[in-house]
Amino acid sequence: MNARTAVGARRVTVAAIAVGAALALSGCGAGQISQTAQQVAAVNGNYATQGQIALRDVRILYPATQEYTNSKGGKAALAFNAINSSADKPDQLTGISTDLGDIHVTPADKATIKPLSELVAAGPGVQSNPSADANGADPEAKPIRVEITGLRKNVTPGLTYPMTFTFAKAGTIKIDVPVDAGPKTPRFESSKSGTAGGEG
């Protein structure tokens, strides 16, 4: 093999390696068909806006009591803030639908949102509107409770579930709702645990 042939062979080898690397890297993000493509960080709720209504921090609560199991056949609690940005027109939440199960709102007659105010759906144990003072809402207003009963499947943290909110004036808002991740797991520490930036 003469020098010119050797140089040509090296060029072909380098080109082949470069093409192979490019193909491998481009395949990493292709498709987005895996189950993880629908996963989101489960620590914060989702949000959406339509017309005068802004949905904020919409999430299915992590089961904190025996009443809410988030398991097939059981029930789950839904939490959200619905903010009415209109200066003079009230709106009303007339319904929520999901393939997960049946939605029950308690009390159903408290789902009206005054102008420049908000409707809060909170989990069990919350007795007053936690953001009333900050948003100008009635500080005596109590949150509604929204339950998903007769769950048709397990509700899993890290995944999202489509829901449709219907308002009298703003119309329908479709949103993918995540599940709270729940309490953080404490980190296990031992005498062999290293410190960040230390020598290990």
The pLDDT profile of the chain, 200 residues, written as one tens digit per residue, is 555 555 455 554 545 555 454 444 445 444 444 444 444 443 479 999 999 999 999 999 998 788 999 999 999 999 999 999 999 999 999 999 999 999 999 998 889 999 999 999 987 754 434 444 334 444 456 799 999 999 999 999 989 999 999 999 999 999 999 998 766 544 444 454 444 444 44
Tokens of 21: 């690397």
User: How far, in Å, CA of 74 to CA of 66, rounded?
Assistant: 10
pTM, full prediction: 0.65
Q: b/e per residue, 36-73, with b = 16+ CB within 10 A?
A: eeeeeebeebbeeeeebbbbbebbbbbbeeeebebeee
Structural domains in the chain?
Answer: 39-178 (2.60.40.1890)
Tokens of 111: 């789902």
